[in-house]
């Protein structure tokens, strides 16, 4: 795992297997996200003069976090202690390389006192879900066919990201730096909370659903601000109007983060589009289908064949699954 984390934090391309392993490890234990965030912040720290303090703090923080939380057996502690040592060693190595690199780049050159920081783009393809830790330690789960752009590290005043698609955020509290999500048509501002933002281009509803905490949603077209708290949501219609509503079924908005595919009175078109996105398949309808009936279902870890069988019974059609293609007739 230390090799995978080192590759990820030094901008080397991960294999699909490595991405899956990293995602599983980050979700396995909250301590793992803390370790990852600590290492990432250490790498991206812009002041080499403070590297020695950072190295010491990294070691002390990681050991303190795990000692405070660890309630397992001696064997369990020894295994985690080994990981802490490896993680801290990686942090120290990376900081040392960063200091040398920075000093070399500074030789014989002049700067304006600050540097341009690159923008990082994270993309989940259709049929793929990705979990990432942001530079401040916040967690973001990206649904299929989603794109997020973030700076290499956040500024001292604010944390900003751009989103197309759907993502669930667990934002680390930082009152001095609001967390802002830019979406076509509206922005979402928070200090620390968990919520879902859905903003696919030309598809389905666009809106924000809050699981905990408080968020402020700004309608850019109407110059309107709506505050949301736990179990509240807003919908943005095609004309740019926002409507505030209670969340009556959390699974409808947050279920996908727990591998639940949920429908409630959805049209067949919406259901087929969701299936296409969830599994990364192309669906072709060769004959007209009576699609007047609304569809309601709640699947946990759904298998494509299971979902298609259910649909075929409700709408009385036959289908053929051929790799990444589905034909309905």
pLDDT < 70 stretches in the chain: 2, 10-11, 38, 41-117, 202-204
Question: What three-state secondary structure class fits 166?
Answer: strand
* Angle ∠(261,266,267) on CA atoms, nearest 5: 125
In this structure, are 72 and 18 located in the same domain?
A: yes
Q: Provide the CB-side half-sphere exposure for 309 (13 A, CA).
A: 6
* 8 Å CB contact between 190 and 157: no
pLDDT tens digit string along 238-258?
Answer: 777 889 999 999 999 999 999
pLDDT of residue 62: 59
Read off φ and ψ for residue 59, nearest 5 degrees. -65, -50
At residue 163, the pLDDT reads: 96
Same domain? For 101 and 125 the reply is no
pLDDT of residue 109: 34
Domain boundary among 221, 252, 283: 252
Q: Is 191 inside a domain boundary?
A: yes
Q: How confident is the model at residue 150, as a pLDDT?
A: 92
d(CA 319, CA 218): 44
- In CATH, what number is assigned to the domain containing residue 233? 2.60.120.1440
pLDDT given for residue 240 in this prediction: 77
How many structural domains compose the chain?
A: 3
User: Which of 252, 273, 300 is a domain's end point?
Assistant: 252
Rounded to whole angstroms, the Cα distance separating 42 from 175 reads 21
Report the pLDDT value the prediction gives residue 304, as an integer from 0 to 100. 95
Whichever domain contains 278, its CATH number is: 3.55.50.30
Domain boundary among 82, 106, 130: 106
Going by their DSSP bridges, the two strands 194-199 and 206-212 should be labelled as: antiparallel
Conformation bin of residue 294: beta by default, left when phi > 0, alpha when psi is -120 to 50: beta
């Amino acid at each position: 795992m230390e090799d995978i984390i080192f590759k990820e934090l030094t901008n080397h391309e991960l294999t699909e297997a490595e991405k899956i392993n990293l995602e599983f490890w980050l979700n396995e234990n909250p301590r793992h996200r803390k370790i990852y965030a600590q290492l990432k912040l250490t790498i991206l720290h812009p002041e080499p003069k403070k590297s020695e303090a950072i190295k010491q703090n990294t070691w002390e923080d990681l050991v303190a976090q795990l000692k405070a939380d660890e309630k397992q057996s001696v064997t369990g502690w020894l295994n985690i202690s080994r990981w802490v040592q490896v993680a801290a060693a990686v942090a120290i190595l990376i900081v040392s390389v960063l200091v040398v690199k920075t000093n070399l780049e500074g030789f014989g050159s002049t700067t304006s006192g600050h540097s341009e920081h690159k923008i990082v783009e994270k993309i989940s393809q259709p049929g793929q879900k990705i979990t990432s830790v942001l530079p401040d330690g916040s967690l973001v789960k990206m649904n299929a066919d989603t794109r997020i752009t973030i700076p290499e590290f956040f500024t001292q005043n604010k944390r900003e990201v751009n989103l197309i698609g759907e993502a669930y955020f667990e934002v680390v509290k930082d009152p001095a730096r609001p967390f802002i999500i830019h979406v076509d048509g509206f922005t979402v501002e928070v200090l620390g909370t968990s919520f879902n933002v859905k903003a696919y281009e030309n598809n389905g509803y666009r809106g924000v659903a809050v699981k905990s905490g408080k968020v402020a949603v700004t309608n850019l077209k109407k110059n309107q601000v709506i505050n949301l708290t736990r179990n509240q949501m807003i919908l943005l219609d095609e004309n740019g109007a926002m409507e505030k509503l209670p969340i009556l079924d959390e699974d409808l908005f947050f279920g996908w983060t727990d591998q639940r595919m949920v429908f409630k009175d959805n049209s067949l078109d919406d259901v087929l589009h969701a299936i296409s996105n969830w599994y990364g398949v192309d669906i072709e309808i060769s004959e007209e289908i009576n699609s007047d009936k609304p569809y309601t279902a709640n699947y946990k870890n759904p298998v494509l064949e299971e979902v298609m069988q259910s649909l075929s019974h409700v709408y009385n059609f036959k289908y053929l699954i051929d790799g990444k293609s589905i034909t309905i007739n």
